[in-house]
Structure 1
Amino acid sequence: MAEQYIVVVAGVIASLLGFVFLYYNSLVRFWGLTKLKRRSALELPKENSEAVGTTDIIIVGAGVAGAALAYSLGKDGRQVLVIERNLNAPNRIAGESLLPGGYLKLIELGLQDCVDEIDAQRILGYILYKDGKNILVSFPLEKFQPHVAGRNFHNDHFVQKLRKKAASLHNVNLEQGTATSLLEENGIVKGVHYKNKSGQMLTAYAPLTIVCDGCFSNLRRSLCYPKVDTPSYTVGVILTNCKLPNENYGALILADPSPILFYPISSTEIRCLVNIPSEIVPSVSNGEMAHFLKTLVAPKVLPELYNSFIFAIEKKDNIRTMPNKIMAAAPHPTPGAILIGDAFNMRHGITGGGMTVALSDVVILRDLLRPLHDLSDASAICKYLESFYTLRKPMSSTINILANVLQKVFSASSNPAMENLQQTFLGYLRLGGVFSYGISAMFSGLCPRPLSLAFHFFSIAIYGVGRLLLPFPSPKRLWDGDKLLWVSIFVETMVSM
């Protein structure tokens, strides 16, 4: 009861501090961005490229965001041209987790059947393991229909279902090609130059071009102020012939030097992801990564998964790596074009929130475009679509900040102050009730409220200070509490900028 009293009292102070905190960071970010120079990938029309006609909307990229948006706009009667560099099934270790909030967005888009018949696995929450203890954190799904839950699957199966759904509409044309640049006339984007599958240079025209060609986008520099950070890499392997301790729950092991995440991606396969700081990533090609996983990671793996983990490491070509890119949303409004998806905004992948943010963005953009029958006034449309950046903030800010904070907290167990913060976070979850459910609701995309996030962050920090001071505030306890509070503020400041 004493611990809960500390948290409740702290909450009032926390909510006020959180508001000031977020407001201050938004001002810092705004004034910082205005000093950046625009680097453009816009080009004038090319004489040696062939025109392929005009459509209502061009979408560059047919990943989760692009394919879902193409279907949504096509259902609204738009003529849509989708240009995707490779229409074959993608081979990725990302985009395998759809949070419950993302599944609800899939329903809004009429695409929920895209998780059917791909052996997708229902996820109801995660179990956190540390020092022989565990905490079960469930998604708050009591108010929803039984089919509402998280879904894990092979990314390529899901993406191909989305593409097939989009291509089933007669007014949506998916074409394989590589977009090389946006076409600009008098400061307005009129279309896109691209090279088709045969290598022919073509130019497509549309009053609106939507760029969502992923984290490696070569068009984003003209539409935003990109500042990409890569704090860590994810190493992925697939385990077979084993089961997780709790059905329908993923497992996150908080270990030194790296957190280890397990979740099912089919009825017979479990994905294992290991987060490794960028400065110490071993090489896969010369066997250093396999040695790292066997000697430093395997001893921390759950006993029931150990043998399958070792077998997965030794299996040829089973070890994959992927950079964890973080990029704040910093748009440069440009008439005739808009940027969405990972080409626009990225967060650390530890919470698997990327697809949920992307699908939320698709819903918002579809709803904004739905009443517009004429897109020809590019400047007016550009001004109108600036509301997109405000409307997306509740979902994107909540998931982005939470993901980036958890990455820092979970990946720093060798640092005593961060270890203290990690133990504080776990203790906060053990309080249960509104404390645990409050975190899981935001984590799952079911409660996209940045101020609620600020409330819980500061409540966690103040709970941690109270935990250190009890039962008697000795000088050492006061010092440790002071360090914990400052580390908490530092982490939250860094990820909110």
Structure 2
Amino acid sequence: MAEQYIVVVAGVIASLLGFVFLYYNSLDGRQVLVIERNLNAPNRIAGENLLPGGYLKLIELGLQDEIDAQRILGYILYKDGKNVLVSFPLEKFQPHVAGRNFHNGHFFQKLQKKAASLHNVNLEQGTVISLLEENGIVKGVHYKNKSGQMLTAYAPLTIVCNGCFSNLRRSLCYPKVDIPSYTVGVILTNCKLPNENYGALILADPSPVLFYPISSTEIRCLVNIPSEIVPSVSNGEMAHFLKTLVAPKVLPELYNSFIFAIEKKDNIRTMPNKIMAAAPHPTPGAILIGDAFNMRHGITGGGMTVALSDVVILRDLLRPLHDLSDASAICKYLESFYTLRKPMSSTINILANVLQKVFSASSNPAMENLQQTFLEYLRLGGVFSYGISAIKLSISFLFHCIIWRWPIVTSISFSQTLVGWG
């Protein structure tokens, strides 16, 4: 009899990850039970971006045709009336390779439909309450179905990917969650960004503001607000904050649409930016992946890319396994997953968490100077703003300045120093 997996899916990025995972494992003849909290299309402000590396993973999984998306080649950074274009390093790839932005709910439903069409996939709406453990081994889950009935599902391996609000992670990792800020999102219509296929990031006080297309007629705006000053949406304080403090900083061609988006009913959504380092607690019979396991600040939109990379790694590890009955041996074998995922996940995590500090407004003059110098460095162009080496050098510079509190240097000596580090 074929092995059965349980995939616990809830949330946004986790949902996509779960469906991709179950799709590929079911093709290998394995029985898959998916317990998804809500099978309706999600309406969230997360999981709308794929970096080029994430799109390459989508191609590797054979699912690039499942995404109705807008191509994105990079971002333009704006500050104090100046701007700098930062492109993705795509010179070695085919023209179709680029970043992708999209309606998360649309992508979710396409993957859901594909998964449900497979004969050995059982897709069920329900809420997982707890893991079923016997003698330190996970045997399955307890869950409540759509009708409210309490049920138990058994399987030799449970894949837990129930998102940033996971109620199961404490059994499978050492969670330490930090929430430095919140993201406020609105959708703009009937407007265009200054440069086609480029997002816009405005570095302003009190909050960085990000714009990117999610369809041919819609632009997503995300405002990053420090946790200690997040206004209430329900009583109108958030709308007032956006109109009075943020709107004057947006690009003139987007201003009217931004105001209209704020005034549109139920168009303002908020989301905590959670940061949680990957700290696994290997447990026989289960493995934790996705935002339930590892989170980074959302300023780079890299969460989906990390998730898809994790899926490819885990898929390749599980494919040669035909017998999952020895939970302890399988657990030991799967520990390599945590090492194999580091090159992709660590790069994106570090970049996201450092950039959110550098790009956020600060009353500290040294941080303001750091931000200005970093932009001047990118404005030098060439290797300084284009390519993997630029990311590597930028991270090195930012870490040295933040950790060691080095004095800010001129852009020329700064760039020369970075070349030395590279």
TM-score bucket (shorter structure): 0.7 to 0.9
How far apart in 1 are the matches of 2:186 and 2:152? 41
- Cα displacement (A) at 1:425: 1.2
Partner secondary structure for residue 452 of structure 1: helix
Q: Identify unmatched segments of 5+ residues in structure 1.
A: 28-76, 442-450, 461-477, 480-485
- Cα displacement (A) at 1:433: 2.1
- Cα displacement (A) at 1:11: 41
Select 2:358's aligned residue among 402, 409, 429.
409
- Cα displacement (A) at 1:119: 4.3
The 3 A distance-change label for structure 1 pair 160 and 431 is same
Deviates more, 1:431-440 or 1:290-299: 431-440
The 3 A distance-change label for structure 1 pair 310 and 491 is farther
1:111 and 2:63 matched:
yes
**Partner residue, 1:94:** 46
**Is contact 2:232–2:238 with CA below 8 Å preserved after alignment?**
yes
How far apart in 2 are the matches of 1:459 and 1:320? 34
How far apart in 2 are the matches of 1:10 and 1:430? 41
- Cα displacement (A) at 1:25: 36
- Cα displacement (A) at 1:111: 1.1
Partner secondary structure for residue 279 of structure 1: helix
The 3 A distance-change label for structure 1 pair 373 and 491 is farther
Q: What's the CA shift string for 1:186-230, capped at 9, x where partnerless?
A: 111111111111111111111110100001111111000111111
How far apart in 2 are the matches of 1:78 and 1:405? 41
How far apart in 2 are the matches of 1:11 and 1:488? 42
The 3 A distance-change label for structure 1 pair 407 and 496 is farther
**Is contact 1:405–1:492 with CA below 8 Å preserved after alignment?**
no
The 3 A distance-change label for structure 1 pair 6 and 184 is closer
**Is contact 2:173–2:280 with CA below 8 Å preserved after alignment?**
yes
The 3 A distance-change label for structure 1 pair 268 and 198 is same
How far apart in 2 are the matches of 1:22 and 1:333? 21
How far apart in 1 are the matches of 2:159 and 2:174? 17
Deviates more, 1:2-11 or 1:327-336: 2-11
- Cα displacement (A) at 1:438: 3.5
Q: What's the CA shift string for 1:105-145, capped at 9, x where partnerless?
A: 01111111xxx576411101000001111111111112111
How far apart in 2 are the matches of 1:221 and 1:326? 15
The 3 A distance-change label for structure 1 pair 405 and 231 is same
- Cα displacement (A) at 1:78: 1.4
How far apart in 2 are the matches of 1:178 and 1:11? 12
**Is contact 2:377–2:415 with CA below 8 Å preserved after alignment?**
no
The 3 A distance-change label for structure 1 pair 495 and 18 is farther
**Is contact 1:327–1:346 with CA below 8 Å preserved after alignment?**
yes
- Cα displacement (A) at 1:146: 1.5
Q: What's the CA shift string for 1:8-65, capped at 9, x where partnerless?
A: 99999999999999999999xxxxxxxxxxxxxxxxxxxxxxxxxxxxxxxxxxxxxx
Partner secondary structure for residue 7 of structure 1: strand
How far apart in 2 are the matches of 1:212 and 1:105? 18
**Is contact 1:19–1:454 with CA below 8 Å preserved after alignment?**
no
**Is contact 1:408–1:491 with CA below 8 Å preserved after alignment?**
no
Deviates more, 1:290-299 or 1:405-414: 405-414
Select 1:488's aligned residue among 403, 411, 415.
411
Q: What's the CA shift string for 1:370-400, capped at 9, x where partnerless?
A: 1111111100000010000000011111001
Count how many residue pairs are aligned between Structure 1 and Structure 2: 413
Q: What's the CA shift string for 1:442-492, capped at 9, x where partnerless?
A: xxxxxxxxx9954785599xxxxxxxxxxxxxxxxx99xxxxxx4999999
The 3 A distance-change label for structure 1 pair 455 and 3 is farther
- Cα displacement (A) at 1:412: 2.7
Q: What's the CA shift string for 1:278-315, capped at 9, x where partnerless?
A: 00011111111111111110110000001111111111
**Is contact 2:52–2:98 with CA below 8 Å preserved after alignment?**
yes
**Is contact 1:137–1:440 with CA below 8 Å preserved after alignment?**
no
How far apart in 2 are the matches of 1:9 and 1:165? 16
**Is contact 1:439–1:456 with CA below 8 Å preserved after alignment?**
no
**Is contact 1:209–1:338 with CA below 8 Å preserved after alignment?**
yes
**Is contact 1:14–1:458 with CA below 8 Å preserved after alignment?**
no
The 3 A distance-change label for structure 1 pair 390 and 245 is same
The 3 A distance-change label for structure 1 pair 454 and 170 is farther
Question: Normalising by the residue count of structure 2, what TM-score does the alignment of the two structures yield?
Answer: 0.86
Deviates more, 1:1-10 or 1:169-178: 1-10
How far apart in 1 are the matches of 2:19 and 2:151? 49
Structure with higher Rg: it is 1
- Cα displacement (A) at 1:432: 2.0
The 3 A distance-change label for structure 1 pair 341 and 495 is farther
- Cα displacement (A) at 1:237: 0.8
Partner secondary structure for residue 347 of structure 1: coil
**Is contact 1:258–1:297 with CA below 8 Å preserved after alignment?**
yes
Deviates more, 1:18-27 or 1:3-12: 3-12
- Cα displacement (A) at 1:430: 1.7
**Partner residue, 1:43:** none
Greater fraction helix: 1
**Partner residue, 2:395:** 453
Q: Identify unmatched segments of 5+ residues in structure 2.
A: none
**Is contact 1:413–1:422 with CA below 8 Å preserved after alignment?**
no
**Partner residue, 1:179:** 128
How far apart in 2 are the matches of 1:305 and 1:81? 45
Deviates more, 1:118-127 or 1:91-100: 118-127
Q: What's the CA shift string for 1:38-97, capped at 9, x where partnerless?
A: xxxxxxxxxxxxxxxxxxxxxxxxxxxxxxxxxxxxxxx211111111111111011111
How far apart in 1 are the matches of 2:346 and 2:70? 27
How far apart in 2 are the matches of 1:423 and 1:283? 32
The 3 A distance-change label for structure 1 pair 311 and 124 is same
1:123 and 2:72 matched:
yes
**Is contact 1:183–1:189 with CA below 8 Å preserved after alignment?**
yes
Identical columns (%): 94
**Is contact 1:232–1:276 with CA below 8 Å preserved after alignment?**
yes
**Is contact 1:261–1:273 with CA below 8 Å preserved after alignment?**
yes
How far apart in 2 are the matches of 1:492 and 1:87? 53
**Is contact 1:375–1:381 with CA below 8 Å preserved after alignment?**
yes
How far apart in 1 are the matches of 2:269 and 2:250? 18
**Is contact 1:18–1:454 with CA below 8 Å preserved after alignment?**
no
**Is contact 1:405–1:491 with CA below 8 Å preserved after alignment?**
no
**Is contact 2:13–2:303 with CA below 8 Å preserved after alignment?**
no
